């Protein structure tokens, strides 16, 4: 889109457009293979993990435990959140986009994490695999996990052995942990939930129906901290209500941003998400279009501008 600088959208609104596009659109799908839905099994009592178990999010109920939650997505990506001594506040802000940065992560499958500060949670993420006997889950670059289910499968004892290169927690030098955990209730199965829970990569921005590439005109956007090169964005949704975005711009170290999402209603053509600065739910919904191979997010701003961000399967 070749608009003259004087005809470009106003500064404040343009900045907001890019925030929604490059940061707020961290939604969608996982970094590897499967969809969100896993078939139920008929097992009962204590049993070894199966595919249904692997797609769960486990909240650690021990208040003094090192970790707050461990999530194993259907996309074979794990997300481990370390518990902080202080509650999460506003979060550290990424200078270019204004998006809250909960962690920095190297490209998968190597796990990585940001050294925590009083305002940020430390997050570990990477790929996981399962042993042939379905007893152990290998969190690549992080550790080995076992999940012993209760009879009703709503709770479990989680055993975690960390790899030797995972940094210690405060003064705790232990590598072996055992936690009590509760399984987070997942969303009901639906076609759109299944479609959105796959891996997607950023394709392009459309502003009012025309291709929009602000990184090609850095002199016009420099005052609003636009990147100087095309962003690389991958997105993950889980049916437990987690989203995870990995964002790389201008050759810098990738940023990993974590938040929550939920459908607006049973139509499943729009969702709400949490704000990156406050952690609060935003009141404005984001409209979505989903197919077997494409995903698009459309936002209408107060001045009438329409921004569409398109993704394709990774």
Decide if pLDDT at 33 tops 60: no
Range of weakest confidence among 48-57, 131-140, 228-237, 276-285:
48-57
Q: Residue 277's pLDDT is what?
A: 66
Q: Is the pTM of this model over 0.75?
A: no
pLDDT bucket at 268, cuts 50 / 70 / 90: very high
Under CATH, to which class is 51-183 assigned?
Answer: mainly beta
Q: Would the CATH topology of 5-32+190-313 be identical to that of 51-183?
A: yes
- With a cut of 50, say whether residue 86 has pLDDT above it: no
Least confident of 31-35, 136-140, 249-253: 31-35
Q: What is the mean pLDDT of residues 13-37?
A: 34
Q: What is the mean pLDDT of residues 75-94?
A: 64
Residue indicated by tokens 């690549």: 140
Instruction: Identify which has the larger pLDDT, 221 or 127.
Output: 127
pLDDT over 70 at 72, yes or no:
yes
Checking if the pLDDT of 19 tops 80, the result is: no
Asked whether the beta carbons of 239 and 262 are under 8 A apart, the reply is no
The arithmetic mean of pLDDT across residues 174-202, rounded, is: 91
Helix, strand, coil abundance in the chain, percent, nearest 5: 10, 40, 50
Which residue is it, tokens 């919904």? 285
- Structure confidence at residue 267 as a pLDDT band (50, 70, 90): very high
Q: What is the pLDDT of residues 190-246, one digit of tens each?
A: 999 999 988 789 999 999 999 988 888 766 655 455 677 888 888 889 999 998 888
Of 241, 309, 312, whose CA–CA distance to 23 is shortest? 309
pLDDT reading at 30 higher than 60: no
- Give pLDDT, residue 241: 93
Higher pLDDT, 172 or 142: 142
**The most confident of 49-53, 87-91, 160-164, 217-221, by mean pLDDT:** 160-164
User: Which range is most confident: 16-25, 26-35, 43-52?
Assistant: 43-52
What integer best gives the mean pLDDT of the chain? 73
Q: Which residue has the higher pLDDT, 262 or 18?
A: 262
Q: At residue 36, does pLDDT exceed 50?
A: no
Tokens of 15: 């900045």
Spell out the CATH class of 5-32+190-313. mainly beta
One DSSP character per residue, 39-88 reads: ------SS----HHHHT-EEEE--TT-SEEEEEE-TTSEEEEEEPPSS--
CA-only gyration radius of the chain, Å: 20
pLDDT bin (cut points 50, 70, 90) of residue 6 is very low
Give which of 65, 44, 70, 66 is closest to 55, Cα–Cα.
70
Q: What is the pLDDT of residue 54?
A: 66
Residue ranges covered by each domain of the chain? 5-32+190-313, 51-183
Q: Does the pLDDT of residue 119 top 90, yes or no?
A: no
Q: Can you tell me the mean pLDDT for 163-178?
A: 83
| 5 phi/psi in degrees, rounded to 5 | -60, -40
Q: Which helix (H) or strand (E) holds 212?
A: strand 210-212
């Amino acid at each position: 889109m070749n608009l003259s600088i004087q005809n470009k959208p106003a500064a404040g609104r343009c900045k907001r457009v890019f925030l929604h596009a490059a940061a707020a659109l961290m939604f969608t799908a996982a970094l590897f293979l499967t969809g969100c839905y896993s078939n139920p099994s008929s097992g009962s009592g204590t049993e070894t993990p199966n595919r249904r178990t692997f797609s769960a999010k486990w909240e650690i109920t021990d208040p003094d435990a090192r970790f707050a939650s461990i999530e194993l997505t259907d996309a074979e990506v794990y997300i481990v959140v370390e518990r902080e001594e202080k509650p999460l506040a506003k979060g550290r802000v990424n200078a270019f986009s204004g998006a809250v940065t909960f962690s920095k992560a190297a490209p998968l499958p190597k796990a990585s994490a940001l050294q925590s500060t009083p305002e940020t949670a430390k997050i570990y993420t990477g790929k996981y695999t399962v042993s042939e006997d379905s007893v152990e889950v290998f969190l690549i670059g992080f550790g080995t996990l076992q999940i012993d289910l209760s009879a009703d499968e709503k709770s479990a004892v989680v055993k975690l052995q960390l790899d030797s290169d995972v940094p210690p927690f405060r003064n705790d030098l232990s590598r072996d942990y055992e936690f009590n955990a509760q399984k987070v209730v997942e969303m009901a199965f639906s076609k759109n939930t299944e479609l959105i829970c796959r891996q997607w990569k950023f394709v392009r921005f459309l502003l009012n129906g025309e291709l929009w590439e602000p990184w090609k005109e850095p002199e016009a956007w420099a005052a609003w901290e636009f990147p100087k090169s095309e962003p690389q964005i991958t997105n993950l949704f889980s049916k437990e209500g987690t989203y995870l975005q990995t964002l790389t711009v201008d050759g810098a170290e990738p940023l990993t941003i974590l938040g929550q999402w939920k459908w607006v209603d049973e139509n499943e053509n729009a969702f709400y998400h949490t704000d990156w600065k406050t952690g609060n739910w935003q009141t404005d919904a984001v409209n979505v279009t989903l197919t077997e191979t494409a995903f698009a997010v459309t936002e209408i701003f107060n001045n009438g501008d329409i921004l569409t961000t398109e993704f394709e399967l990774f």
